Amino acid sequence: MPLIIKDEYPEVLFRKDGKRLDGRDVDELRPIKMDVGIIKNADGSAYLEWGNNKIFAAVYGPREVHPHHLAKPDKGILRVFYRMATFSVFDRKRPAPGRREKEISMIVADCIEPVLFLELYPGTSFEVFIEVMDADGGTRCASTTVAALALADAGVPMKSLVSAIAVGKIDGKRVVDLSGIEDKAGEADLPIAITWYNEEVSLLQFDGDMDLNEMNEFLVLAKDALNKIHQIQLDTLKSKYVKLQEEISKENVEIENKGDS
């Protein structure tokens, strides 16, 4: 059964004033908020609000691999479990992991693995659990972005962060960061992830219709958006350490004051 009945799609995806239906310009991202360290039982965690998407990521590892037969004697493994809550979409999603969730788990792992030093952790695993609480288009990109942030929060050695964005075409115009309705009613959708240490594309999927020249133009559009997302990831991580530093300084002052009295 289709998620939104085709007849319910809007006929046009731009308003009369040239803005998209949610009021954005073609190159404008939805509002993005990130936080780290929000799940105390995890080794590292992150939370992301990206437009209407709300996503948690929790990291555990390096730890023993279960089931044991998955362990590799010469390197660690990265396992990603992407799940959408049953209430995260308009129609109730089946609770059992479906094909789409398995595919997204795999691609998120594939595009993050190049930044990890897995060869330093033979026989162990890093596990990243991603829970989508509210979904509105682009969750594979948002999940990649928040998973990389959670790994960094866990203190896992990384060559760099990874950021991702979906660009695409709606009503014949190139846009960044497709919302759920733009993803479904638009002509093309191109999720892209970048590993920042070498600026290489670590994910490129494509659904729709475009030629090679157009693809290059999409990559240029994506780069600008990816830079903005990367900056938010970096600022979020920095603010964690600034807060930590402030707490330590406060504690030190308290200890000094106690010593004086």
Nearest by Cα to 151 from 103, 100, 117, 106 = 117
Is residue 21 within 8 A of residue 14, CB to CB? The reply is yes
Coil, helix or strand at residue 174: strand
Among 3, 12, 242, 253, binds ligand CDP (CB under 6 A): 3
51 sits near ligand CDP (criterion: CB under 6 A): no
Using the structure block, give the residue that is written with the tokens 């788990």: 105
177 binds ligand CDP (CB under 6 A): no
Q: How far is the CB of 4 from ligand CDP (least distance, A)?
A: 7
Of 45 and 179, which has the nearer Cβ to ligand CDP? 179
- Tell me which of 44, 61, 62, 180 binds ligand CDP, using CB under 6 A: 180
Q: Name which of 157 and 208 has its Cβ closer to ligand CDP.
A: 208
CB of 52 to ligand CDP, least distance (A): 8
Among positions 130-159, residues that touch ligand CDP (CB under 6 A) are 135-140
Instruction: Please count the residues of this chain forming the interface with ligand CDP, following the rule CB under 6 A.
Output: 13
Check if the beta carbon of residue 108 is closer than 8 Å to that of residue 142.
Answer: no
Other CB atoms within 10 A of residue 216 CB: 10
Distance CA(155)–CA(208), nearest Å, equals 38
- Would you give the DSSP letter of residue 78? E
Residue closer to ligand CDP (CB basis): 124 or 205: 205
Give 77 or 188: the residue with its C-beta nearer to ligand CDP. Answer: 188
| Residue placing its CB nearer to ligand CDP in the complex, 2 or 155 | 2
- Region 70-89 residues binding ligand CDP, contact defined as CB under 6 A: 89
Determine the 3-state secondary structure of 240 from DSSP: helix
Alpha-carbon span 250 to 218, nearest angstrom: 48
User: Between residues 49 and 183, which has the closer beta carbon with respect to ligand CDP?
Assistant: 183
Q: Is the dihedral of CA 94, 96, 99, 100 positive or negative?
A: positive
Name beta bridge partners: 162.
Answer: 195
Q: In angstroms, what is the minimal distance from the CB of 22 to ligand CDP? A: 14
For the chain, what percentages of helix, strand and coil (3-state, to nearest 5) are there? 35, 30, 35
188, 160 in Cβ contact below 8 A? no
For residue 135, the minimal CB distance to ligand CDP (Å) is 4
Q: List binders of ligand CDP among 94-113 (CB under 6 A).
A: 100
Distance between CA 254 and CA 261 in Å, rounded? 11
Q: Taking the complex as a whole, how short is the minimal distance between the CB of residue 19 and ligand CDP, in angstroms?
A: 21
For position 117 contacting ligand CDP by CB under 6 A, the verdict is: no
Q: Is 169 a residue that touches ligand CDP (CB under 6 A)? A: no
Nearer to ligand CDP, 62 or 174 (CB): 174
Q: Kind of pairing, strands 162-170 and 53-64? A: unpaired
Interacting residues toward ligand CDP by CB under 6 A: 3, 89-90, 93, 100, 135-140, 180, 183
